[in-house]
Every structure is written in C-alpha cells, then in structure tokens.
Copies of this chain bind each other. A is one copy, B any other.
C-alpha cells in the first residue's frame, strides 16, 4: 500500500500501472469465465480472449489455469478471507452468531453470492478446484476461527459448524428447497446460530 501512495504522489510509472491494469483485466475476465462456465469448461485461451490479451500474457502473469483460478478465487473470496479478524472481535459466547451472520451476509449479498456460488460449483465438480477451496477457504478462514477456540478438537468443531452453514446455503441458495429458500433470513439465523455456537463452544 505504501508503494501505491508514493507512486500516486510522484510521476506515474507508466509500464507498471499498465501491467497492473492488464493483470486486473485478466482477473476480472477470469472471474466471469469461471463463474459462467465452471472450472472445467473454462480455458486460459477463453480468459485471454475475454480480457483482450494474448494467452501468453495470462501465462506470464499467473501461470497455469489452476493458478489463474486460485488468483481469481482469492480476489472473489477476499472479504471472506479478511473476515476472521472481524469474527475475532467480540466475546466467545457470541462467536456462533457472528460466524452465522458473516456467512449468510456473503450469500444474501448479490455481489458476493455469484463468486461464492462459482467457487462452490467448481469445487464440487473438479478435484483441482476442490484443492484450491481447501487451501483458501478451509485453511485460511476455518483455521483462523479454530485458533480462537483454544479447545481440543477445535478444527473438527469449526468444520462441523461450517457444515451446518454450507449445507443451509446449499439447500437455500443453490438447490432452493422450500420452505427453507423463502423463509426470512432472521428466522433461519435464530435457529442456526445456536447450533453453530454449540459446535464451537459446546460440550
């Protein structure tokens, strides 16, 4: 960040900001391609075409398709991955509700729902995408929640809490099972948050 500020004040370094613009354009194109087509049907060539650059440039900036996917997911999941800090602020007896509200917040917001949906769809269908999901979401988000618990089985507790949230999101937003899909979100949170709390800090 310090670098960016310094550069803004001085003369813009043309080639570097061009490079940053190209990199961003490729990332936006990648996110859209992966969201629309899923991991398997997306190609580096298709991403390059959507970004208006040569495939070689995509490889130059990111490497393989898996690495482009990881970078795109990292951007899409950035709010989720920075959240554990916010989740950590507050008493441990409310962590269930904070975790629940955070996850449903991501799903209820149309701007974040689509990228998350794309990640879930890709992870369910493709082992490479599942590995990226494990590295980013599981390792970063879940482990950091687990670190706050300071309990034996902390990781398993967090994963079973996440399972309740993931499963509810799947049935509500993806499969759209009724009445779950159209029930007011506050009624869902009232039922789910105590369960999540129980997984995290219960017996």
**A124 partner residues in chain B, CB cutoff 8 A:** 120-121, 124-125, 170, 174-175
Is chain A's interface secondary structure helix, strand, loop, or mixed overall? helix
Asked if A180 is at the interface of the complex by the 8 Å CB criterion, the answer is yes
Copy total for this chain = 2
Which 4 A-B pairs give the minimum distances between C-beta atoms? A167-B167, A163-B167, A166-B167, A163-B168
Please, how many residues of chain A have a CB less than 8 angstroms from a CB on the other chain?
39
**Complex Cα gap A168–B168 (Å):** 11
**A198 partner residues in chain B, CB cutoff 8 A:** 195, 198
When A164-B163, A166-B171 are in contact, do A177 and B134 touch as well, CB less than 8 Å? Answer: yes
**A188 partner residues in chain B, CB cutoff 8 A:** 160
**Complex Cα gap A167–B175 (Å):** 13
Report which A residues bind B (CB closer than 8 A): 38, 120-121, 123-125, 130, 133-134, 138, 142, 155-156, 159-160, 162-168, 170-171, 174-180, 183, 187-188, 191-192, 195, 198-199
